[in-house]
Each structure stands twice: as C-alpha cells, then as structure tokens.
Structure 1
C-alpha cells in the first residue's frame, strides 16, 4: 500500500520503492511463436496495406508496413541461405541512417543473430577494439565506409546498397511471413542487441540486451505512444495518425528503441531525415510530411533554437512535441525553445543503453515546458539511494537513481566484475546519476555521481555551473570539471569554447559566475578549447576531456622549459 503522504509520488514507504502510477496491462500478450523482437512486432495488428511505415525524406521512397514485413523476411532468408548467419552469431552493422537500416536490423534479429550497431564515425582502431571484444562473423556496412572497414574480419564485407538492390530485383524465393526458426533453438532470454556504452567515464563496454528486454520496452512504448491508453499496439486510434521525424542516429539505443521498436509498434509513420542533421532539413521534412513529434538530443535542440525564426512561422503547424534525451538540457535552452516554437510541447525523457531505451517519459505531465525528465514508465521500479549509506530516500531527497524492471540489460559482455558493480543481487541497476523524485512522481537529474567535484569536502555539481555558464552570450560550449588543488583537494574548472569573434578572458568568466553561486561552487580556473568532446547523444565525454587537459598541461610545461 502507498502511504497517503506519498500516494501521488508512487513511493511505497515500507519498501522505499517508487512505482509508476500510469495504468498499464499487467503482462505482455506473448504466445509461443513470439521469440524475437521481429516476431513480436509482426504479431501486432498492422495498419492498412497502404499506410506508410518509413519514408525517406530526401527521396520520398516509402515502405508500408506490409512491404517492410515482406522485405525483412526476404533479407532474413538471404542472410541465412547466402551468408550462413546462425543464431548467436554477432553482426556488426556500421551505417548511417537510411530507409533500410531497420530492414537489415530486424532481419538479423529474426534469425536469432546478435545485432551490434556502431557509430560510422569511429576510427579504424576503435573498430578493431570493438571487433576484438565481440568477434563478429559478418560486417554489414556501406560502400562509402569500405576503406575503413575492409579486412577487419576474414569474411568479406556485405554492402547494404548491393544487398537491398539484389532483394528488390531478385526477390525469389518469395517469403510471405517472417522467417521462423525451430522453437527449441531460441529463447526470449537470448541476447539480441549488443551496443557499446558511450564511455562518459572511461572505456566503453558491450551492453547485452535480450529479446525479452527489447520486447518489454517496445510494449511499454507502444502503450504510452499508441494513443488509446489500452496498449493495443500498432493501429491504435491516434498512433497511426502520428508522424515522427527520425534525426537520431539509429545505431544509438535512443534512436533504435524509438524508431525500430516503439514507433513501429504504434503503427505510426517515421520520416527518416538522412545525412548530417541541420534544422533546415528537419523543418523541411516537418512541413512536407506534417510531422507531429520529433525526438532529439540537446545539441540538435540548441541548433533548432538558433534557426527558430525559420520554424516559427514557416508552416510547421503540425508539430506538437519535441522530446529531448541523452544529456541534461539547460534551462536557458528550454526557455529559448519556448520562444522560438510557441505552442510546441518540449518534453524530456531519460534512458540508458543498459535499460534498452527510455525509462522515464513526460506522458501525462501537464504543461508545455518540462524541467523534469518525466515519470517512471510502467513495468519499471525506481529507488533513490543515499550515496553515503545506501538507504532508500523518500520524495524530494537527492540520491543515486536505481532502476529495476524487465528491460534492464542482461549484463556487460565478458565483464562479470563491471556487471556485478552495475546490477546488485536484487536486480537493481545503479545508473550513476544523482536524482530526486518530487511529490508528483516527476524525476529530476542533478548530476553524474562520478563527476561531482569535492571542494573542501563540499560536493559541487558540474551540470549546475555548466547551465549558468551556457547562458553567457560569448560562450559557445562549456564543460566543468575538477582541477587538483593542494589546499582544497579539487577546485571547479571551466573548459570554455568561445563564440566566433569573442575575446572573453578567464577573469571575465570567473567574475560572471562569482555572484551566482555559493562560494564553494565558484569557478577558480578557466581554460579555452576549440571543442568539447561529446558522445553522439550530446553527453560530455569527461574522460576524453581530462585527457585533452592533460595534454595541454604537458605542452604548457614544455613551453616553460
């Protein structure tokens, strides 16, 4: 029973656990033939034959739900018959967003093979490291990436362009349904996707998510976004009327979970905007295809607000919501967005590669501007853990966010130590994020625990200082980190990227923030950089930042000698 005091927050006093208050079916409607994510997706009621599933914004090429299902079946048959792909084989997929990224992904998963998508921007040495870790039997990529990917494994590269062209021109043998494997060869607990964490604090780790993890997340997202509140999945009353613009990288869990899983299950349309993200390309797609919802990462949103004059009166009236995730969003950027896009709801959500997608959503939270990252999704439990003693904390107390539920990963590939540190014996995943949950069940991120700066035993959150500094008119980008100090232990140091033409100096920044924070939070050192290292989702890669600072210090020492 929830105490009367905490009923609106979902907090259970006797256990210290927060539960979602959103109505939701108690179980997944699975049957014996649903063993993989594709078999679950294709077991849902499909929209009409002509209803578009994926649209390429640059060419107008369209895949309906029927043609997607057929093409996935053909691709799976070809991967099995021509390339010998077997259950549990790892396939490295290295490609930019395209209409056929979901096709190849679902074909691989339908065979029980393990999909490992990777960022095309990785260096060859980074690919070598990942390949050593996961031992793929096949690499699927594009011709433009062939020089970077060739001869990394014994088997030849499979180019998406040739593969899809061959399927379209030589579709025989015709397969009317997704390829089925003998049930005894597959379990929903088998690994499905192997994604590598962004490595914000060090070397990235291979995150193993099972088919059960992905199906659970898909079911939740289809319920939340399906539009009926009944969890009917594809073809729900308003789900099929929604149109999503896909500008997120599909190799990242945020993009993959939203577009290859959640949106597909609702029966909505995804408009894929290929090539490098620009606000102009996005808004052109919004106007042309009457896009209603756009998931983004913070750097994209910042770029959109700088082009706000284009969007504000440019025929983008269909746009109802922009959803930001991947990194904290500064209040200044939220307020600027509200001015540039009046009437458009700005929401935040929160998820991890380790949770197979978003685990908080602003669904049901009133208002157009959401400082919170939303409420915990159905099926997921949360705790706020005191970082000093491990005790569970009641609403409005800050501690580490811990999560438990069916979408939490199986573990890290060949890394039992890291897995045991991340997930305790009761199944709680330690996120490493400092958060609190208010009396309405809304979750707020304060900072990363490992990134807290300890100044004379005081804890300083870099994100708080970064938000203040980002409001300075001459600062393009900023990251705050610690700098060793003999007296204080650590002092807050700002790493600043100046805007073009700016001549701002260290003392200007120190004075700017001095009266805006408590004395122990003051910026006491500033260095200027050409760029801040960030992950594709916009997170500051602080370990790379520290490495860059170390190199600068070495150069400075050598210059003095």
Structure 2
C-alpha cells in the first residue's frame, strides 16, 4: 500500500500529446532536413573548417546506406562504430540506422578485453573504425572470437590507412535497395546500442528502438508548439565536444540537425579550441559535462573571448552544485542549467527552468510523455512530496532492454514498465525533482561511468590481495575519482604505487585510481556481504578533513 500522499508525477498540461510515427529514425531526420536550406551548414569541423550542408547530408546518408546494403548489411545486423567526434561520424551513424541495421556505439579507446565483451554481447559482424590503429585492434579481437566473425570493416580517417573508407561509401554508385521491408516496426527494431556500465563491471548494450529515439524529437517539437514564440533558435549553432558515442553527445547533435542548426564538431575539450569555436562559429548552445563547468568556474580564460552569441550552457550526467551554475552564469553573462537523463531513457528525462536553475540539487521537471514515481528503498512503497527514494520513470523513450541480458533487463524494468534508475531523489509541490545521490555504485569521472567491480576484479588478481573495495571519492576538478581500499593477505607486502601502476596498464585513463590506494584491516560490509561504500567514502572524507 502506498504511503499517504504517494503519487505518480506526470506532465502538467492540457494540450494532448501527438502520435509517435512508426518510421525509421534516420528517415524521419532526412525528411526534417528537406525543410531546411539546401546550402545551409549542417555539420562543421571546428578544426579543419570542413562543412557539410543540409543538401550534402540528404545525398550522402542514403548513398552510404546503399553502399552498406550492397556490401551485405541487412536489417537487424549490428555495426560496431568506434570513433571520436568527427564530421563524418553522424553520416556513418545515420546511414547504418537508415539501412535498418543497429549502430553499436563504442569508445574507440576501448581495450581489447572490453571490445571482446562488447562484440560478444552485441553480436556485431560489421565495423567502422576511427583510423588504422583502431581498425587493427578491432580486427585482432574479431579474429580471437572467430576467423570469420568480421564480415567487413571501414575506416573514417584514411590518413594512415589504405582500407575501404566511409568516404568510399559516401561516393558509392550502388543503387537504392529494391527490397522494401513491409514488416518494419519502429517500436521493436533496434536503431542504436550505446553502452551502459553496470555494477557487474562489464558494459551492457542498451537497446534503443527507432520509436525510442523519435520520441525525443516529438517531445522537442511538442514543447516548441506550446511555448511562446521566440526570436532565436537555441540550436542555431551547437558546439559538440561531448563524445557522440554517449547519449548526451548523440542527442545534442541530432537535436541540432532536426532544428536546422549547425553542429560544430570538436574531437575533445581543450579550453582554447573550445572558446575559439564559440567565437568563430557564433555558437548559441553549448552542452558540457560538469567537470568542464568546474574548470570554467575558476579559470579566467573565458574573459578573453567573445561569448555574445551564446544563449546557454547545459550540463547533465551528474549533479553539479548550484553555486557553480551561479558563478558560471555571472562570469559569462550566459545561463548555465542542468537536467537529468540516462542511456536507458534515450538520454532524456528532466530539465530546469527559469525558476529552478539555481536550486540546489534541482534537475527540473519531467519532459512530455514521461511518468515518474519515487519509491521507498526498503518497502517499495510509492512516496509523496519531499520524501526521498529511488526514481522510477516510464514512457515511450524507455529502452527495450539490455542486449542478451534478460536478467539485467528484468532487474531494471519491472512488469509495469517502470525503469528503475538507481538515483536517489525527491520531488516538491511543483513537481520539480531534486537528486540527492546514487544508489548504484557507479563512479562518474568527467561524466564517464566507472564500475567499481571492474577495478576490483583487476586488483583481486594481484598477488597478496585478500579483499578489496573501490568507491568514488570527491575531486574538485573531475567530480569523482576511483579509490581502492585493500586488505592484504597475512605477511604480504603490498606497494600501493605498484597497485596504481598495475591498474593503469589495464584500463582507460579515466578509470585509473586517481583517488589513491589505502591498505586497511577489513572492508565494511552489510549482513549479506555487500560492500558499504558510503562508509568508505565517509571515512575518507573524515580523514581528509583532519589534514
């Protein structure tokens, strides 16, 4: 039985929601492009100055689709895409989706061990690699799995490669496929598979349907239709340095293309390149991760550049202090705001407004189509206003499930369709949500997810380690960083610097033990043996406060 005043939070409004069309996501975007100017800039490389117009994309995406189909890619096939931000990446991504195949988004810096797991769970048989180095790594892993596991591979950059490339596919003379699949269902066909780390330490493949992704665009159009007319297009010029293999980077790029703006592409964040791009391309919208805002909070660099075109910064992936948002707004003269989302909800969820920008912990109101409830962690009862519990959300953008992982899917989406987010929240009388913590043990470094169990499994294999726990500890620049607490075996001598080096050799840079290693006599656990990471963090913070 629900607690008194427990209720489901819904979108407040009288205007009915529009239907979500049963169409291919890439086809929907191409149709939207016809409403924009043929010669208007759609994608811009901030470093080289290369430009794709909307007309260029309307020709390149179907042509590349034709080349993929001619090569043998069929509906339902999985195509691995490992690439950092590049002007050709959205073209490749959308071409795969237009072919009714599934685009599996990965970090090109993934280790061989990570790649082996990802290829296995996604059942990928085709691949697009950033460059020759990434291509070689992919090929080696595919061969380890099976001699004929990889059907074909293309590269994005041909600077150091003679392999078939994305450019070749964009110049393909292959005819448009004659066969039309009349059984296509946008609600069940998987368009995109980003990766989400879990407490098992291994990434999970998030299956997002065409309908899931189209919902995000219908939501955006609905909000525009009920809002007062404005004199500017927020997405007129968006600066994209957040990786497009993450849902935030993907969504912000696609939102810009649906809106008829130009997406200015940077491969990564460097302060000078970032502000030069804002100035040179008259950027109006800058999605950022929290660590960038924390850098800008103390850095004097922004005063050297013209930010007059910028309308707003927006951040997500982890909560950021209201004080930081206020300081950035005051220093830049531009609004800084935050929202909430996750890959499993297609990267959308809530957003702040004029009234809630600087309320501590506020992630704003639910977007259209969503329902939410807050659930007591112990009893499972639905809670009411200002009662803290786990956030559950439900709606047409919630994922189909995790690829080849029915157990994890059942643990995350219940029989009533509620997505259990793992986030601790409460909501107020006006239905604004406030995030207070994470139930899940994931550590977020610069917006990247790090699973403690992955690092624990590596450390456990070190000779002399009897027990280990990893948790995130606060870091002023990166938000959180991993720290390890190790119980040595009797009479064992462990060198903490050697442990840090050992882990660094096996993981990506953001997963390294930047929070250090501490040797302890025991690891705090509850009655069922689960590590009490909150106890570890509090112990660390107490010791640090005494220094």
Question: For 2:44 and 2:435, how far apart are their aligned partners in 1?
Answer: 35
Secondary structure, aligned partner of 1:259: helix
Q: Sort the Cα spacing of 1:291 and 1:174 in 2 relative to 1 into closer, same or farther, 3 A.
A: farther
- Counterpart check, 1:79 vs 2:102: no
Q: 1:335 Cα shift?
A: 4.3
Q: 1:310 Cα shift?
A: 2.2
Residue number in structure 1 paired with 2:166: 164
Residue number in structure 1 paired with 2:96: 108
Question: For 1:537 and 1:199, how far apart are their aligned partners in 2?
Answer: 16
The equivalent position to 2:276 in structure 1, one of 278, 284, 292, is 284
- Counterpart check, 1:186 vs 2:184: yes
Question: For 1:476 and 1:531, how far apart are their aligned partners in 2?
Answer: 22
Q: Sort the Cα spacing of 1:351 and 1:531 in 2 relative to 1 into closer, same or farther, 3 A.
A: farther
Q: Sort the Cα spacing of 1:371 and 1:242 in 2 relative to 1 into closer, same or farther, 3 A.
A: farther
Q: Is the 8 A contact 2:276 2:305 kept in 1?
A: no
Q: Is the 8 A contact 1:28 1:216 kept in 2?
A: no
Deviations 1:292-311 (A, max 9, x none): 1111111222233343x221
Question: For 1:253 and 1:180, how far apart are their aligned partners in 2?
Answer: 33
Moved more, 66-75 or 443-452: 443-452
Q: Is the 8 A contact 1:222 1:266 kept in 2?
A: no
Residue pairs, 1:166-315, within 5 angstroms = 166-167=168-169, 170-172=171-173, 182-188=180-186, 189-199=188-198, 202-224=201-223, 227=224, 229=226, 238-239=232-233, 242-260=236-254, 262-274=255-267, 276-307=268-299, 309-315=300-306
The equivalent position to 1:93 in structure 2, one of 72, 81, 90, is 81
Q: Sort the Cα spacing of 1:256 and 1:303 in 2 relative to 1 into closer, same or farther, 3 A.
A: same
Secondary structure, aligned partner of 2:363: coil
- Counterpart check, 1:140 vs 2:128: yes
Moved more, 290-299 or 182-191: 182-191
Q: Any unmatched runs of 5+ in structure 1?
A: 1-11, 453-461, 486-496, 498-527, 555-561
Q: How many residues align?
A: 465
Q: Any unmatched runs of 5+ in structure 2?
A: 143-148, 158-163, 443-470, 488-496, 522-547
Moved more, 426-435 or 241-250: 241-250
Question: For 2:343 and 2:42, how far apart are their aligned partners in 1?
Answer: 25
Secondary structure, aligned partner of 1:54: strand
Deviations 1:459-516 (A, max 9, x none): xxx99x84xx74xxxx88655989799xxxxxxxxxxx9xxxxxxxxxxxxxxxxxxx
Residue pairs, 1:428-447, within 5 angstroms = 428-447=418-437
Deviations 1:108-141 (A, max 9, x none): 0111101101001111121011112222110111
Question: For 1:285 and 1:199, how far apart are their aligned partners in 2?
Answer: 35
Q: 1:69 Cα shift?
A: 1.6
Moved more, 279-288 or 19-28: 19-28
Scaled by the length of structure 2, what TM-score is found?
0.76
Residue number in structure 1 paired with 2:59: 70
Scaled by the length of structure 1, what TM-score is found?
0.74
Q: 1:51 Cα shift?
A: 1.7
Residue number in structure 1 paired with 2:11: 20
Residue number in structure 1 paired with 2:30: 42
Residue number in structure 2 paired with 1:320: 311
Moved more, 263-272 or 419-428: 263-272
Question: For 1:325 and 1:240, how far apart are their aligned partners in 2?
Answer: 17
Residue pairs, 1:115-154, within 5 angstroms = 115-141=103-129, 142-151=131-140, 152=142, 153-154=149-150
Residue number in structure 1 paired with 2:460: none
Q: 1:68 Cα shift?
A: 0.8
Residue number in structure 2 paired with 1:494: none
Q: 1:372 Cα shift?
A: 1.3
Residue pairs, 1:332-347, within 5 angstroms = 332-341=323-332, 343-347=333-337
Deviations 1:277-335 (A, max 9, x none): 1121111110001111111111222233343x221352111112111111121345334
Question: For 1:201 and 1:327, how far apart are their aligned partners in 2?
Answer: 20
Q: 1:257 Cα shift?
A: 2.0
Aligned residues: CA RMSD: 3.8
Q: Is the 8 A contact 1:228 1:237 kept in 2?
A: no
